[in-house]
Amino acid sequence: MKILIKNANLISMDSIREKFEEKIDILIEDEKIKKIEREINDRVDKVIDATNRIVMPGLINTHAHVPMSIFRETVDGYNLQDWLEKKIWPMEDKLTNEDIYNASLLSFIEMVKTGTTTINDMYFMTEDIIKAAKEIGIRLQTTRTLMSLGNDGEDRIIELEDLINKYKNTDERITFNIGIHGFYTSNDSYIPKCVELAKKYELPIHIHFCENDKEVQDIKNGYNVKSPVELIKKYFKGMHVILAHSVVLEDEEIKELAKENIYVSHCPVSNLKLGCGIAKISKMLDNEITVTLGTDGQGSGSNLDLFETMKYTALLQKGILRDSKQMPAYEVLKMATINGAKALNLDDVTGSITEGKLADLIILNLNDVLTMPTNQIFSQIVYNVKGTNVKTTIVHGNILMENRNLKNINEEDICKKCSSIIERIK
């Protein structure tokens, strides 16, 4: 199918183009971006008029737990470990495959409606998450969470390897990484087995890292190290690693991390809500660490709206450093788009609107009382745009939502099913 987007105001996030271009046409042929020019007149199957609208890459969420849509607002009054151990894990034990599928559909609907086109997931019953992703048409990088607290750690590795082999080369939208829950939920005999799997299939590693004080202390005690960063150097040397959270880090630890091939997934809303603290994102950028954005699961992150995450990211660093020049808006946009693609090893196919890349893009309508007038477009998007400003979402060349109308999914039915799930298990 050929789709022509006409007369767009383009934010491509492509480093070789101007940051903002007016009156640009974009030709999509099948799943890819074929042309980006003015006045394209090719014969096409569909024309989308983007006059006075913003076209930009779809957002990339580099850390989430997709089925946790049903656990929204369950965290008040709990710290991270108590919330997991006393509230979430007991409810998760009651979830069925159908529950995971429906809860995942709810999250994917939320993504499409708020402009996220790619998500990095860490959970279990992974096949049901994949099934939901394929039905919606979203781009998913996923795993089977690896941990070794019980006797099933080896089984989890086998399960993940089976998934990788089953789905590799079957759908370009579905990719994998090796999702280790955390050092504190694993041990020094288990981590090397996970690394071996990553090396075998040349996949990134995705791990919770230094989310709060207790986790850091548990790691130090469990591995007899002075700093968790020592474990990154010991186990992941030369590996492509996505570190989720990275809140509790000293300046020297950040400098040491910068020597490794790591990417940080910053989840400010979840970190604030769980009382974990505020990650030193500006210090990471000063040390040339690639920072990306995540929401975490909705249980602690509340929603999957990465526009909200962008705003928190910028404001927090300006506030804690008492420096309004911190976090230029365009740099925050990079975190939500091309940086995320780099972290997931997908920057050759997505993360920017570039000829030859896959067509993952969104169209924003800023003709709204909250976004008028526009004096500086990048600041407008970071501070005032919300997921509801997304009018059209395209993934892999397929229109998943147009003018706020979802394609081929009954949103009301999924909401009802998910409400019944939480009533049954809580």
**Residues 129, 196: one domain?**
yes
**Residues 50, 156: one domain?**
no
With 80 as the cut, is the pLDDT of residue 358 above it?
A: yes
**Domain-terminating residue out of 296, 318, 343:** 343
- 322, part of any domain: yes
| Mean pLDDT score, 333-348 | 98
pLDDT at residue 80, rounded to an integer? 85
**Residues 295, 181: one domain?**
yes
**Residues 198, 50: one domain?**
no
pLDDT at residue 111, rounded to an integer? 98
With 90 as the cut, is the pLDDT of residue 110 above it?
A: yes
| Mean pLDDT score, 44-73 | 97
- The C-alpha atoms of residue 253 and residue 205 are separated, in whole angstroms, by 20
Least confident interval from 66-70, 315-319, 422-426: 422-426
| Mean pLDDT score, 356-363 | 98
Q: Cis ω on the peptide bond leading into residue 90 (within 30° of 0)?
A: no
With 90 as the cut, is the pLDDT of residue 97 above it?
A: yes
- 149, part of any domain: yes
**Residues 100, 112: one domain?**
yes
Q: Six-digit token pair at 115?
A: 């402009």
- 174, part of any domain: yes
Burial 276-294 (b: 16+ CB within 10 A, else e): bbebbbbbbbeeebbbbbb
Least confident interval from 1-10, 79-88, 196-205, 417-426: 79-88
- Please state the pTM of the whole predicted model: 0.97
CATH number, position 28: 2.30.40.10
pLDDT tens per residue across span 116-125:
999 999 999 9
**Residues 204, 272: one domain?**
yes
**Residues 291, 310: one domain?**
yes
**Residues 187, 207: one domain?**
yes
| Mean pLDDT score, 379-394 | 98
- 224, part of any domain: yes
Confidence of residue 289 (pLDDT cuts 50, 70, 90): very high
Name the average pLDDT for the chain. Answer: 96
Q: What are phi and psi of 190, to 5 degrees?
A: -85, -40
**Domain-terminating residue out of 343, 371, 398:** 343
Count of alpha carbons within 13 Å of 68, Cβ hemisphere only?
27
With 90 as the cut, is the pLDDT of residue 77 above it?
A: no
**Domain-terminating residue out of 288, 321, 343:** 343
- 398, part of any domain: yes
| Mean pLDDT score, 2-20 | 98
pLDDT at residue 81, rounded to an integer? 86
Q: Tally the domains of the chain.
A: 2
CATH number, position 172: 3.20.20.140
- 348, part of any domain: no
**Residues 296, 172: one domain?**
yes
pLDDT tens per residue across span 126-170:
999 999 999 999 999 999 999 997 777 999 999 999 999 999 889
Residue 319, by phi and psi: left (phi above 0), alpha (psi -120 to 50) or beta?
alpha
Number of C-beta neighbours around residue 50 at 10 A: 24
**Residues 215, 361: one domain?**
no
With 90 as the cut, is the pLDDT of residue 365 above it?
A: yes
Strand-pairing partners, residue 395, are 398
**Residues 294, 369: one domain?**
no
Residue pair 310/385 in contact (Cβ under 8 Å)? The answer is no
pLDDT at residue 75, rounded to an integer? 86
With 90 as the cut, is the pLDDT of residue 376 above it?
A: yes
Residue pair 54/366 in contact (Cβ under 8 Å)? The answer is yes
Percent of the chain with pLDDT over 90: 94
- 420, part of any domain: no
Range of the domain at 205: 59-343
Residues near 206 by Cβ (< 8 Å), separated by ≥ 6?
63, 120, 122, 143, 177, 178, 179, 180, 241, 242, 244
| Mean pLDDT score, 255-261 | 97
**Residues 165, 25: one domain?**
no
Confidence of residue 79 (pLDDT cuts 50, 70, 90): confident
**212 or 408: whose pLDDT is higher?**
212
- 102, part of any domain: yes
pLDDT at residue 278, rounded to an integer? 98
